[in-house]
Structure 1
Amino acid sequence: MLYGIAAAATALLLSAFLTGVLRVPALRLGVTDRRRRRPLPLSGGTAVAPATVLVATTADATGLVPLGAGVGRVVTAAGCVALLGLAADLRRLRWWVTPAGTAVAAGFVVPYEETGVAAGVAAVGAIVVATVAFRGLDHADGLAGTAGAVGAFGLAACATAELMDGPAALLGVLAAALAGFLLHNWFPARAGLGASGALFTGFVLAASAVFVRAGQGIGAGAAVLYGVTALGCADAALVVLGRLLDRRAVTRGRPDHLGHRLRRLGLAPRAVPVLLGAGSAGAALVAVCVHTGRLAPGAVGWVAAASAVLVLALVRRPVTPVFRPRQRVASASSQVSERLRVRSG
């Protein structure tokens, strides 16, 4: 217990430190969010993933919090997915590269001996969908970090109920690392999570859900996985449905995610992650209750129904056609010169 708390505190401090330190290198190297009007360094992904992996593997190597062979594979595969996301942050990749790479990584972590081949293949598909969907949440300040931390905490509770110390420790460390990142990502954000951090977080959540629920029933397992990733799934459904109705390419970026549409309704920037994070917490609570047997798997249907209502209520709301181009901020000296020129003229 004490070792787990110490590991989580270390991950929080390390993630907060790395996010701040890596901001300047990210700006100089051009690793920024291309969708913003102002350059936002994507140092969060290069902080959350290394902090989580380093703390978890160190705790395992020293014997303080043994992860186990299965969880070790999850950590390794998630690190590879984070590197794939970093490549996506550095340059544009074809739309199929990320799902394909995630599928390969997921194929190595699914415990087929417990799930069986057919259910294992379905689990790989679920991990890919949940991971890619979670990446879409990195469109509003504080949203992806909040949803990831809530989901990790909920899954850690599920793992603790099963006396699975390895997954519980990994998920606790991830939640703490995301909390450290949120110190820099709350509105107005000074750093973003990026594809690297978002894919890493989504993969760890989905793979851990499969690992914790392996061999305990497909229906309840699917309910738990959906509960901890419901917000990302709702956002993905909204984006896909909206673009299909507008007859636009599904893979072409556009400011039409949940946060974008709520902002168009007049919701304050700080209220978006609070409102959606509360909904994510409610869905995660339902998932925990399903896992522990306090609720039937069908209870997740209420989460799906609420998500469907939200999607249908927002899908026809007008959105900005394209992302606004990034504007260069003039230096102080150039602004002074411009003012003097105007006055003299």
Structure 2
Amino acid sequence: MNVLGIIASGVAALFITVALARSARRAALRPHTPAKPGGCASRARALRRAGGATAVLGAAAAAGGALWLGAADDAPASVAGLLAGAGAVAALGLVHDLKPLGPVLRLAAQTAAAALVVWAAGLSPLAAALAVLWIVLVTNAFALLDHADGLLTAVGLVTAAGLLACAALDGDSALALLPATLAAGLAGFLLHTWHPARLRLGACGAQFTGFALAASGALLQEAAPAGRAAWAALPALATVALADTALVVISRRRAGRSPLRDADDHIAHRLRRVRVTVPGAAILVALWAGVPVATGTLVYAGLMHPAFLLVPLAGTAAAVVALLRIPAYAPPRAARSRTVAPRTGTRRPATPAAPAAKPRTAPVQGGSAPAQGGSASAQGGSASAPGKNAPPGTARTAAGRPTVPPPPSGRPSEAAAVAAERS
């Protein structure tokens, strides 16, 4: 095994990723003058989503340079096919970051890239079919972990370290090359995607990470010696990613939701609902992933019996059951009941206008007899003419006629007495 070549490629991937990520971070945070309202914010979001391309370029450039320099002379075709398939998936992810694509197109591209990898490795038809299914499944399972700051980066770093250790046990430089550069690239990108994240892996970095891990594991299992328990050890390295996928699918099916519709129901989302911080969720899930990765590596090395893998698997199943008990969806809003009056053919009569307030007048002490008030009412034609023979202070109706209220308590009012005197 070319140990110096693997170490040099890892260091190169680390420095390339750090330099590119720093430049991308400055470009994303640089103030711009938008051509239209909201243009600056949308451009910054696009740059942050595409930040994972820096980790992809760092890992792929270092691995390609090491392959060109002869660091993987034992199986150059397998490494070339692995890099070509991972690069194609990453390019499709970058397009998806800029303009979302449909799930059918993405699955077709991932299947074609996985078929390219197994064809370059020269697998048998049955092993190739199983490897393609495994690669597509694990690629999407790891891509789903990119739902919190630093989560996928930390879990991918732990998983890549486990694959690197398994490849180093066999002395396989070709299959150790991409896990080494991927682990270094994710380590250089971790600072920028940690909470609060300035850059994100996005679909480009997430699919490249998942594809590289899944394809490296499949090829490593195919090339493992006969004495290795690779059939049990290597699938255990993807325990947390598969657990998150199972959690999402079961939860959405129980809630009657589509499994393809994204929602806040992943592992980190549920941990946040029980008051775990965002960095705490990333650390907790990374430690969770470290248990099956360490156990699988020890089983692959022959230091543990494969039965010990049942311990992290049982713990993962119990954790999924516990996370399912945490509510992930808001209860549906009750529809407001509206009572509609039945329509009839008749029209509602118009509401009459309220009568004008009658002015309150003081009773006249010692006024005329009621008979005089009656004569005033009989001869009211001249007294009630609009604008004629009306006292200046008399209240008027809407037609301009003076208002003479009935005398309170049997006594004529002052206005009635004045009208009687003038008649």
> In structure 1, what is the equivalent of residue 201 of structure 2?
193
Deviates more, 1:247-256 or 1:17-26: 17-26
Question: Does residue 262 in structure 1 map to residue 271 in structure 2?
Answer: yes
Q: Which amino acid aligns with 1:292?
A: A
Matches within 5 A, 1:1-345: 1-23=3-25, 30=42, 41-64=48-71, 66=73, 68-110=76-118, 115-214=123-222, 216=224, 220-319=229-328, 321=330
Provide the alpha-carbon RMSD of the alignment.
2.5
Q: CA deviation at 1:30?
A: 4.1
Q: Secondary structure at the match of 2:15?
A: helix
The higher radius of gyration belongs to 2
Q: Would you tell me which structure has more helix in proportion to its own residues?
A: 1
1:282-339: CA deviations, max 9, x gaps? 11112212222223334333322222111111113122559xxxxxxxxxxxxxxxxx
Q: CA deviation at 1:55?
A: 0.8
Q: Which amino acid aligns with 1:13?
A: F
The CA distance in 1 between the partners of 2:87 and 2:193, in whole Å, is 22
The CA distance in 2 between the partners of 1:61 and 1:122, in whole Å, is 30
Distance 1:32 1:123, change over 3 A: farther
The CA distance in 1 between the partners of 2:313 and 2:53, in whole Å, is 33
Q: Secondary structure at the match of 1:270?
A: helix
Distance 1:264 1:13, change over 3 A: same
Deviates more, 1:66-75 or 1:199-208: 66-75
The CA distance in 1 between the partners of 2:254 and 2:86, in whole Å, is 34
Q: Which amino acid aligns with 2:54?
A: A
Deviates more, 1:67-76 or 1:175-184: 67-76
| Alignment gaps of 5+ in structure 2 | 30-39, 332-423
The answer to whether the Cα contact below 8 Å between 1:150 and 1:284 also exists between their aligned partners in 2 is yes
The answer to whether the Cα contact below 8 Å between 1:81 and 1:196 also exists between their aligned partners in 2 is yes
Number of residues of Structure 1 aligned to a counterpart in Structure 2: 317
Q: Which amino acid aligns with 1:171?
A: P
1:167-197: CA deviations, max 9, x gaps? 2122111100000000101111111001110
Q: CA deviation at 1:234?
A: 0.8
Distance 1:233 1:8, change over 3 A: same
| Alignment gaps of 5+ in structure 1 | 34-38, 323-345
The answer to whether the Cα contact below 8 Å between 2:78 and 2:120 also exists between their aligned partners in 1 is no
Q: Secondary structure at the match of 2:103?
A: coil
The answer to whether the Cα contact below 8 Å between 1:131 and 1:203 also exists between their aligned partners in 2 is yes
The CA distance in 1 between the partners of 2:113 and 2:121, in whole Å, is 17
> In structure 2, what is the equivalent of residue 336 of structure 1?
none
The CA distance in 2 between the partners of 1:221 and 1:3, in whole Å, is 25
Q: Structure 2-normalised TM-score?
A: 0.70
Q: CA deviation at 1:276?
A: 0.8
Q: CA deviation at 1:73?
A: 0.7
The CA distance in 2 between the partners of 1:226 and 1:179, in whole Å, is 23
Distance 1:107 1:65, change over 3 A: closer
Distance 1:107 1:59, change over 3 A: same
Q: Percent identity?
A: 36
Q: Secondary structure at the match of 2:48?
A: coil
Deviates more, 1:265-274 or 1:285-294: 285-294
Deviates more, 1:125-134 or 1:307-316: 307-316
The CA distance in 1 between the partners of 2:66 and 2:120, in whole Å, is 27
The answer to whether the Cα contact below 8 Å between 1:78 and 1:204 also exists between their aligned partners in 2 is yes
- Structure with more contact order per residue of length (Cα contacts < 8 Å, sep ≥ 6): 1
Q: Which amino acid aligns with 2:322?
A: A
